Amino acid sequence: MGRRGNCYENAHAESFWSGFKAELLDGGSCPSLAEAELEISDHIAYYNAERRHSALDYQSPNHFETQLQTTSQFCPA
């Protein structure tokens, strides 16, 4: 955390929530808490299992993690 008044201290969290809301809600809203919980869990499952990320060489986070663990087994620390 930065000092009081530092506008950059929560920039990463704000960026995450901005992208999350834009991808999940697409301008709409959820009528109930149960539906919101279902939508959020579905989105997180999609985000980790299927969505490709440019920072991970266009692989899904789950695939990247599996590949990293497999590779690290062959390269002892």
Dump pLDDT digits (tens) for 26-76: 666 778 888 888 888 888 888 778 888 788 889 888 888 898 888 877 776
Question: pLDDT-based confidence at 9, cuts 50/70/90?
Answer: low
40 near 34, Cβ under 8 Å? no
End-to-end Cα, the chain, rounded Å: 33
Report d(CA 66, CA 36) in Å as an integer: 30
* Polymer length in residues for the chain: 77
Q: What is the C-alpha to C-alpha distance for residues 48 and 26, in angstroms, rounded to an integer?
A: 19
Position 1 pLDDT exceeds 60 = no
**What is the model's pTM?**
0.53
What does the pLDDT average to over 2-19? Answer: 71
Q: Which residues pair with 59 in a beta bridge?
A: 53
> What pLDDT does 52 receive?
85
